[in-house]
A and B are shown apart, each in its own frame.
Chain A
């Protein structure tokens, strides 16, 4: 597609459930990033993929968060045993390579009840 595609656009779930968020990067972009944006916290980095490997996972807030990327394309961010503080907009970005400008998708708005 022309841009970064994320799904679902909105997700409401109960505390304690697992959720999966999907990101399809711009065609040909080898680098993929996950961020989250919550009220009062701004945008924070979660994880970076180059191809299928994740050399930088430093931003994942706890071991409940994991991500994978397959085929050098689609990525899934999984949050296990969700907590209310996980409520945020989860944004995916991609770039053509290391150090290049990052372009964001529309995000997934996650609400934990």
Chain B
């Protein structure tokens, strides 16, 4: 069974701090990874994609991939209360199906 594991949280950080979200995946064959943000009652919104080892930065977000350790992370700098949501890590399986973790709930307090 191919799996993506995330700590469910909640992860609580003060406004302006760095939030660090992590996930691990079981299938060494996975090549593409995605982070989605999901607000309560809403659908997932794509925020980052990463395909190769190392860091990828987009604004306040940095995704990190380490294929040897089968580990993906998302850093959110200068966290804002509007970042409070559930963050879903997903691995692309055979180029088609996204395998999702259960999500980490982030709470940013002002």
A residues contacting B by CB (< 8 A) are 31, 33, 35, 42-45, 48, 55-56, 58-59, 89, 91, 93, 98-99, 101-107
Q: A99-B92, A101-B49 are in contact. Are A56 and B44 (CB under 8 A)?
A: no
- List 14 A–B pairs whose Cβ atoms lie within 8 Å, in order of A's numbering: A33-B98, A35-B98, A42-B100, A42-B102, A42-B103, A43-B100, A48-B97, A55-B96, A91-B43, A91-B44, A98-B95, A101-B46, A104-B36, A104-B44
**Given that A99-B32, A101-B34 are known contacts, is A45 also in contact with B98, CB under 8 Å in the complex?**
yes
- Asked whether A56 and B94 contact (CB < 8 A) given A99-B32, A101-B34, the answer is yes
Asked if B103 and A102 make an inter-chain contact with CB atoms under 8 angstroms apart, the answer reads no
CB distance from A6 to the nearest CB of B (A): 9
Number of B residues contacting the other chain (C-beta, 8 Å)?
23
Chain A residues near B46 (CB-CB < 8 A): 101-104
Main DSSP-derived SS at the B contact region: strand
For residue B101, which residue of chain A has the nearest CB?
A42
List the count of A-B residue pairs having beta carbons below 8 Å apart. Answer: 53
- Closest B residue to A48 using CB positions: B96
B97:A43 contact, CB within 8 angstroms: no
CA distance A106 to B63 in the complex (A): 25
Which residues of A sit under 8 angstroms from B36, Cβ to Cβ?
Answer: 104
Name the contact of B44 in the complex, choosing from A43, A45, A55, A99 (C-beta under 8 A): A43
B88 engages A43 (CB within 8 Å): yes
A33–B101 touching, CB < 8 Å: no
Closest B residue to A41 by CB, please name it.
B102
Chain A CB within 8 A of B13 CB: no
Q: Does B57 contact A (CB under 8 A)?
A: no
Give the residues in chain B near A44, CB-CB below 8 Å.
100
Which chain B residue shows the least CB distance to A105?
B43
Q: In the complex, what's the smallest C-beta–C-beta distance from A10 to chain B, in angstroms?
A: 12
Write out the residue numbers on chain B whose beta carbons fall within 8 Å of the beta carbon of A107: 43
Which residue of chain B has the shortest Cβ distance to A3 in the bound complex?
B43
Interface status of B99 (Cβ within 8 A of chain A): yes
Report which of B42, B94, B96 forms a contact with A106, defined as CB distance below 8 A. B42
Q: Is the CB of A99 within 8 A of B101?
A: no
